[in-house]
Structure 1
């Protein structure tokens, strides 16, 4: 019998896992590898918030954004988004569709809309959880100058799939979880 060293789970991962649905969470070691090994993947953590993001040359991708429960409604999230928007590059993120049985989904959508984000209605994004069950995510974007075309959103999200969601995926999942040509499509 071999002894497996128990590696501690980073505190940022525990915070995220206590808030985000399990199917939206990356494997703990994949997220840790992104944070520790990938120069374009950033982690900002304060007493008020936690954000993990991809910083590409022509856009930002917000992978996870969590405002601590006791800070919600105080403007912390909006100030953080304004800080990211001050970079003057488009920002892309995923958010679950509004569920009438979950008021938090509507609150999240309104929060992003109040901060200038729009839905990319022409791009469909559907993934499978680790049990093979499909789930859909909506893509929201913010742009410093004008509306972004669905083609550009698709290209940005393709980059995200390749460089973030699929980062060392075979090592952690034994599969590629977000093959762009399978999970992304333009709506006709």
Structure 2
């Protein structure tokens, strides 16, 4: 099974980019879009001068408990840049969502409560909400994280979307919101 099939089996369809989209990013945006792959993991990430965005992180079931996820994150943390990622809200019918959030909390990630993220899936046409988590080595603000998310959305998520999907994702202003007085509770507090 190739790397894309592994990701596709694990991540919901509403979160997946097409294989062509990801391969094109790896080829045409190889300066910023990277794949770290081993026998028990796949990590797709974006690295810019002032932040890292983890697009996908998968550790195989047989390697769970061996601290592989921790080691992969440590490698990125050594760059001393904020690390940002999107996660599904807790779904009590899917125990992996809570385990994933507990893992990121243990790794020092914070919930960006001021940032809202909802977009329509081009695959299913459903609205899909995600939560933004971040690790801030220099106490970077949620304003900075929000700007980094907008940049990621425009440079990566919507890269040649019309070509790959026959239609475009919504503009960033409709997908990402910033609220100085967050209404969301901190989803990591309850863990």
Q: CA deviation at 1:129?
A: 1.3
Equivalent runs, 1:33-44 vs 2, <5 Å: 33-38=24-29, 39-44=31-36
TM-score (norm 1): 0.91
Partners of 2:109 and 2:48 lie apart in 1 by 19
Residue segments in structure 2 that go unaligned for 5+ positions in a row: 182-191
1:128 aligns with 2:84: no
Q: CA deviation at 1:134?
A: 0.6
Partners of 1:57 and 1:170 lie apart in 2 by 27
Residue segments in structure 1 that go unaligned for 5+ positions in a row: 1-9
Deviations 1:6-60 (A, max 9, x none): xxxx911111001101111001100110112212100010112110000111000
Contact 1:165 1:178 (8 Å CA) reproduced: no
Deviations 1:103-156 (A, max 9, x none): 11000000001001001000000011123211100000001121x322211100
Partners of 2:84 and 2:97 lie apart in 1 by 18
* Residue 81 (structure 1) aligned to one of 73, 80, 87: 73
How many residue pairs match? The answer is 178
Partner of 1:4: none
1:68 aligns with 2:60: yes
TM-score (norm 2): 0.89
Equivalent runs, 1:71-110 vs 2, <5 Å: 71-110=63-102
Contact 1:54 1:63 (8 Å CA) reproduced: yes
Q: CA deviation at 1:101?
A: 1.5
Structure 1 residue runs of 4 or more that deviate by more than 3 Å after TM superposition? none
* CA RMSD, 1 decimal: 1.3
1:47 aligns with 2:39: yes
Q: CA deviation at 1:167?
A: 0.8
SS in 2 for 1:121: coil
